[in-house]
Amino acid sequence: MEAKIKNIKDQLDIQLKKCKTVQELNEIKVRFFGKKSELSSLLGKIREISPEKRPIIGKLINDAKQKIGQAINHKKRELEDIAYQTSLEKELLDITMPANVPQIGARHPIYTVQEELEDIFSYLGFEVAEGPDIETEYYNFDALNTPKNHPSRSIRDTFYTKSGALLRTHTSPVQIRIMEKYQPPIKIVAIGRCYRNDKPDASHMPVFHQIEALVVDEGISFADLKGTMDYFVKQMFGVNIRSRFRPHFFPFTEPSAEMDILCVNCKGKGCRVCKGSGWLELGGAGMVDPSVLEEVGYDTEKFTGFAFGFGIDRITMLKYNIPYIRILFQNDLRFLKMHRA
Ligand code: PHE
């Protein structure tokens, strides 16, 4: 019996020496400790031993069991230490390795220009207003005095939703939303995206940006419009840039005009940017048509107003020397980095 027990311990020592992983150790534990282990079967046989010898053998077996348990626990700790050590080595930080440089975002030039515009007009006492991109026909056309058969309403020009709403084709509906809510004096600018069913080319995209200005008060005249525009142009492009008005037509202004600025590139000589004309078209303007003021319930005997709306994409292209409008919408990181503000 003693020999057998000694043999078990020797076996265990050999196996523990070979054992490399916790999993192997668990298997060893089962083999030496489990119900089918030699030790268990020895314990089972204890009844066959004579009563006087029984306590001695019993003690022997129990001692052996304890020793085996200790040896296994010891080995277990050893293995865990090794595992911990290797994991530390694996996670070792090499602080001399080059770091992962995070991609730093940049403000889009459109928004830089947008902020600049807001600053210029805030300085003149304008408040910044907002309206939804998805509009109703009422705000985008009807309230702006646009006839039912006006070509701009057709699905060839305007994006309609299934429910009959539309993507606003200009920022002018914000005029109506503001006048509906507030009484004069009104002095607001509204900036935002607009949408038209245009074929993309060098200077057109189905989505673009506009800034709208609206002033309504007693005694507002065309001279106020011209003065405001002129101030704006000089702030934005420099004191040497002249602006001009050409007669035009809009359903919601009367009289109406289109505004040009002297070509920023050639200063009027004629070049590729202005297609030889020396002038660049900025947008539309005019005195708010009395029928629009009536629509929102303003007293047209008392109040007059002016409005203008022009494209921001064009201005951004001029300022950043961007040849194709598409570049503004492609989210090309190289472009954004180049113009990091
Ligand atoms: N809404 C017009 C357009 O998009 C521009 C405009 C605004 C004209 C305000 C007159 C007054 O073309």
Place of tokens 């050999």: 14
Q: Both 116 and 222 in a single domain?
A: yes
Distance CA 211, CA 25 (A): 75
Q: How far is CA 101 from the centre of its chain?
A: 20
Residue 310 falls inside a structural domain: yes
Q: Both 87 and 208 in a single domain?
A: no
Ligand 1 nearest atom to the CA of residue 284, by list position: 8
Q: Give the burial class of 98: count Cβ atoms within 10 A of its Cβ; 0-12 exposed, 13-18 middle, 19 or more buried.
A: exposed
Distance CA 271, CA 257 (A): 24
Q: Inter-axis angle of helices 109-123 and 222-237, to 10 degrees?
A: 130
Residue 198's nearest CA partner among 144, 254, 158 is 158
Q: Both 189 and 282 in a single domain?
A: yes
Q: What is the Cα Rg of the chain in Å?
A: 42
Residue 101 falls inside a structural domain: no
Say yes or no to pLDDT of 227 above 70.
Answer: yes
Q: Both 232 and 303 in a single domain?
A: yes
Ligand 1 nearest atom to the CA of residue 169, by list position: 4
Instruction: Give residue 278 CA to ligand 1 midpoint distance, Å.
Output: 23
Q: Both 140 and 79 in a single domain?
A: no
| Best mean pLDDT range from 48-62, 89-103, 289-303, 319-333 | 289-303
For 139-149, write each residue's pLDDT tens digit.
999 999 999 99
| Amino acid sitting at position 103 | Q
CA distances from 312 to 19, 112, 170, 245 (A): 74, 11, 12, 18
**CATH number of the domain where residue 158 is located:** 3.30.930.10
Q: Which two tokens stand for residue 44?
A: 């089972």
Instruction: Give residue 3 CA to ligand 1 midpoint distance, Å.
Output: 107
Residue 167's nearest CA partner among 182, 152, 178 is 152
Q: Both 80 and 132 in a single domain?
A: no
Residue 99 falls inside a structural domain: no
Nearest CA to ligand 1 atom 4: 170
| Best mean pLDDT range from 2-6, 54-58, 81-85, 144-148 | 144-148
Q: Both 168 and 267 in a single domain?
A: yes
Instruction: Give residue 259 CA to ligand 1 midpoint distance, Å.
Output: 11
Ligand 1 nearest atom to the CA of residue 175, by list position: 9
Residue 272's nearest CA partner among 198, 203, 200, 199 is 203
Q: Which two tokens stand for residue 119?
A: 């600053």
Residue 103 falls inside a structural domain: no
Mutate to test the pocket of ligand 1, among 252, 282, 288, 314 (most ligand atoms within 8 A of CB): 252
Q: Both 156 and 45 in a single domain?
A: no
Ligand 1 nearest atom to the CA of residue 170, by list position: 4
Distance CA 148, CA 146 (A): 7
Q: Both 73 and 162 in a single domain?
A: no
Distance CA 113, CA 245 (A): 23
Instruction: Give residue 264 CA to ligand 1 midpoint distance, Å.
Output: 22
Q: Both 194 and 84 in a single domain?
A: no
Nearest CA to ligand 1 atom 8: 284
pTM, to two decimals: 0.71
Ligand 1 nearest atom to the CA of residue 213, by list position: 9
The reported pLDDT for the residue numbered 218 is 98
Mutate to test the pocket of ligand 1, among 250, 292, 308 (most ligand atoms within 8 A of CB): 250
Ligand 1 nearest atom to the CA of residue 309, by list position: 7
Ligand 1 nearest atom to the CA of residue 256, by list position: 10
For 176-206, write each residue's pLDDT tens digit.
999 999 999 999 999 999 999 999 888 889 9
Q: Both 149 and 292 in a single domain?
A: yes
Distance CA 49, CA 152 (A): 110
Distance CA 253, CA 249 (A): 8
Residue 69 falls inside a structural domain: yes
Given 58, 91, 124, the domain boundary residue is 91
Residue 96 falls inside a structural domain: no
Contact indicator for 307, 252 with CB cutoff of 8 Å: yes
Stretch 113-121: mean pLDDT: 96
Residue 306 falls inside a structural domain: yes
Give the number of domains in the chain.
2
Phi (first) and psi of residue 253, to 5 degrees: -135, 150
Instruction: Give residue 308 CA to ligand 1 midpoint distance, Å.
Output: 6
Instruction: Give residue 320 CA to ligand 1 midpoint distance, Å.
Output: 24
Q: Which parts of 92-215 fold into alpha helices (H)?
A: 109-123, 137-140, 173-181
Three-class DSSP category at 223: helix
Given 91, 125, 144, the domain boundary residue is 91
Given 64, 91, 118, the domain boundary residue is 91
Say yes or no to pLDDT of 120 above 90.
Answer: yes
Which residues' Cβ are closer than 6 Å to ligand 1?
170, 172, 212, 250, 253, 283-286, 307-309
b or e along 37-64 (b: 16 or more beta carbons within 10 Å of the residue's beta carbon)? bebeebeeeeeeeeeeeeeebeebbeeb
Residue 36 falls inside a structural domain: yes
Instruction: Give residue 295 CA to ligand 1 midpoint distance, Å.
Output: 18
Say yes or no to pLDDT of 262 above 70.
Answer: yes
Q: Both 6 and 135 in a single domain?
A: no
Q: Give the burial class of 221: count Cβ atoms within 10 A of its Cβ; 0-12 exposed, 13-18 middle, 19 or more buried.
A: exposed
Determine the structural domain holding residue 323 and report its residue range.
Answer: 109-338
Q: What is the mean pLDDT of the chain?
A: 90
The reported pLDDT for the residue numbered 341 is 57
